[in-house]
């Protein structure tokens, strides 16, 4: 295939660009991915011992209020009526999350009305009223009061960041949701569900086009193939969704990320925890949560002899780790400004996706961003003959 466009990375951003370019513009698109599978972190597969579909890179819950995104994704998959709900363990007791009226009444052993609960939280949050907290710990207390913050936020956040919240900047949290009703849905979006036949089936449908060639186990930075960076940049337009610092060989320094480790275990029971996700909020448990994938698709009627669970551990990413969440320190932002300028100076290279822009993007946000890039950059360049302005990295 003589490519008109090279897409680096086969996650939702990259595949949305590839599918639109192939379907709408008739372009020949080559998609490269260094992994053995397509789909990026949304990849799922059946766990062989149990037959249960597992999200290989952690729980992926699809939700959106964006009508265009919803219409687009429904071209490739139908969705179940799954509604995500999370529970959290604190001192051996299970609570409903996010913090809602049920959580508050259970925690305080009370029967408060919505107004009474709101007044109580405001009173407790008043401990630091009128101050300007500079660390996450004090900011959390100011937002929801010390008792709820220390029970459900402090230690969980500390495990996520491997850092005492007193040493984390207040800017990490701008608000902590508290619902003064019994609504325990995790998301508030108009549309929510899981792909009926799984994420990989959805992703494969997006890539199933005669003008799209997917090359797996192929590193963009490996000169041994015809679509490597050194051979295509400046000659063929590129949409790059890998880590932006890696693209520039870390010339301005490494950006910092958090990563996740998973401890997977098959258990000889039909149901381990009765729900898909349970957070472990206390400091004496070293993992952040347990995912039990069978509960993502109760409609499938999985066998009941065994289940699979995944314990999730969060830590700072090191060289060779899969980056998940941008940490975005002041030092990172300074580096990102420099990478932004470098990206803008490239020749026919667009940077997108979570890694390419150093932004945390949910799936629907990545798809929406890709659709916008197609409208504003790809289509004008190919359909209207306009010059492609490189970039896409904001800081």
Report the pLDDT averaged over residues 350-372. Answer: 96
Catalytic residue among 258, 294, 340, 354: 258
Report the pLDDT averaged over residues 298-308. Answer: 97
> pLDDT for 66-119, tens place per residue?
999 999 999 999 999 999 999 999 999 999 999 999 999 999 999 999 999 999
Catalytic residue among 20, 289, 294, 340: 289
Residues contacting 393, CB < 8 A, separation 6+: 244, 336, 339, 340, 343, 344, 351, 356, 357, 358
Residue 198 pLDDT exceeds 60: yes
Report the pLDDT averaged over residues 122-145. Answer: 91
Residue in the structure block whose two tokens are 């990172």: 332
Catalytic residue among 179, 294, 340, 354: 179
Say what the pLDDT of residue 20 is: 98
> pLDDT for 363-387, tens place per residue?
999 999 999 999 999 999 999 988 8
Longest dimension (CA), the chain: 68
Catalytic residue among 71, 132, 175, 305: 175
Catalytic residue among 223, 360, 375, 389: 360
Q: pTM for the complete prediction?
A: 0.94
> pLDDT for 255-292, tens place per residue?
999 999 999 999 999 999 999 999 999 999 999 999 99
> To the nearest whole number, what is the mean pLDDT of the chain?
95
Does the N-terminal peptide bond of residue 98 adopt cis geometry, omega within 30 degrees of 0? yes
Say what the pLDDT of residue 327 is: 87
> pLDDT for 165-177, tens place per residue?
998 888 888 778 8
Say what the pLDDT of residue 227 is: 97
Per the annotation, the verdict on 360 as an active-site residue is yes
Report the pLDDT averaged over residues 137-155. Answer: 94
Min mean pLDDT across 4-13, 166-175, 204-213, 282-291 is at: 166-175
Min mean pLDDT across 68-77, 210-219, 265-274, 325-334 is at: 325-334
Q: Pick from 66, 44, 38, 73: which is nearest to 57 by CA?
A: 44
Report the pLDDT averaged over residues 349-355. Answer: 96
Tell me the C-alpha distance between 124 and 371, whole Å.
44
Per the annotation, the verdict on 271 as an active-site residue is no
Under 8 Å between Cβ of 53 and 294: no
Tell me the C-alpha distance between 323 and 311, whole Å.
18
Per the annotation, the verdict on 362 as an active-site residue is yes
Say what the pLDDT of residue 163 is: 86
Say what the pLDDT of residue 226 is: 96
Q: What is the DSSP letter of 300?
A: G
Q: At what angle do helices 363-373 and 12-25 cross, to 10 degrees?
A: 40
Report the pLDDT averaged over residues 202-230. Answer: 97
Q: Quick check: helix, strand or coil at residue 200?
A: helix
Per the annotation, the verdict on 394 as an active-site residue is no
Catalytic residue among 292, 312, 332, 346: 312
> pLDDT for 27-73, tens place per residue?
999 999 999 999 999 999 999 999 999 999 999 999 999 999 999 99
Residue in the structure block whose two tokens are 């925890």: 273
Sheet of strand 257-267, all strands in order from the earlier edge strand to the far edge: 93-97, 86-90, 277-280, 289-291, 307-316, 257-267, 325-326
Per the annotation, the verdict on 179 as an active-site residue is yes
φ, ψ dihedrals at 269, nearest 5°:
-135, 155
Say what the pLDDT of residue 369 is: 97
CA angle 70, 72, 77 (to 5 degrees): 85
Q: What length does the chain have?
A: 395
Outline where DSSP puts E strands in 256-297: 257-267, 277-280, 289-291
For residue 44, count CB atoms less than 10 angstroms from its CB and return exposed for 0-12, middle for 13-18, buried for 19 or more: buried
Residues contacting 306, CB < 8 A, separation 6+: 49, 50, 266, 267, 268, 269, 270
Say what the pLDDT of residue 1 is: 62
Q: How does 288-306 read in b/e, with b if 16+ C-beta sit within 10 Å?
A: bbbbbbbbbbeeeebeeeb
Per the annotation, the verdict on 175 as an active-site residue is yes
Q: At what angle do helices 12-25 and 199-207 cross, to 10 degrees?
A: 30
Tell me the C-alpha distance between 2 and 76, whole Å.
26
Residue 395 pLDDT exceeds 60: no
User: In this structure, what token pair is assigned to residue 295?
Assistant: 């509960």
Q: Which residues lie across from 88 on neighbouring strands? A: 95, 279
């Amino acid at each position: 295939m003589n490519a008109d466009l090279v897409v680096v990375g086969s996650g939702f951003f990259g595949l949305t660009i590839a599918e639109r370019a192939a379907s709408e513009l008739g372009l020949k698109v080559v998609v490269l991915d260094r992994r053995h599978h397509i789909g990026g972190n949304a990849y799922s597969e059946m766990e062989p011992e149990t037959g249960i579909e597992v999200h290989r890179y952690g729980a992926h819950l699809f939700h959106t209020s964006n009508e265009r995104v919803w219409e687009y994704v429904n071209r490739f998959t139908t969705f179940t009526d799954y509604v995500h709900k999370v529970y959290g363990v604190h001192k051996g007791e299970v609570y409903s999350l996010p913090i809602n009226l049920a959580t508050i009444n259970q925690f305080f052993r009370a029967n408060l009305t919505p107004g009474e609960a709101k007044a109580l939280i405001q009173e407790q949050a008043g401990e630091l009223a009128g101050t300007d907290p500079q660390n996450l710990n004090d900011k959390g207390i100011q937002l929801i009061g010390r008792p709820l913050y220390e029970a459900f936020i402090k230690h969980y956040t500390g495990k996520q960041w491997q850092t005492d919240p007193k040493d984390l900047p207040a800017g990490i949290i701008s608000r902590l949701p508290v619902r003064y009703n019994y609504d325990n849905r995790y998301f508030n979006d108009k549309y929510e569900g899981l792909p009926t036949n799984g994420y990989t089936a959805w992703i494969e449908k997006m890539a199933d086009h005669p003008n799209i060639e997917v090359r797996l186990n192929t590193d963009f930075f490996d000169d041994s193939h015809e679509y490597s960076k050194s051979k295509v940049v400046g000659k063929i337009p590129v949409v790059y969704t890998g880590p932006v610092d890696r693209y520039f060989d870390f010339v301005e320094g490494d950006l910092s990320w958090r990563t996740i480790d998973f401890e997977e275990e098959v258990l000889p029971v039909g149901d381990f925890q009765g729900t898909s996700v349970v957070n472990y909020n206390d400091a004496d448990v070293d993992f952040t949560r347990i995912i039990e994938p069978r509960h993502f698709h109760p409609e499938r009627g999985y066998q009941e002899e065994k289940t699979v669970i995944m314990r999730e551990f969060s830590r700072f990413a090191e060289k060779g780790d899969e980056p998940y969440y941008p940490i975005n320190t002041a030092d990172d932002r300074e580096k990102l400004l420099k990478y932004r300028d470098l990206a803008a100076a490239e020749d026919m290279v667009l940077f997108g996706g979570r890694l390419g822009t150093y932004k945390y993007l949910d799936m629907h946000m990545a798809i929406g961003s890709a659709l916008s890039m197609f409208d504003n950059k790809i289509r004008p360049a190919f359909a209207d003959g306009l010059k492609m302005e490189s970039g896409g990295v904001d800081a």
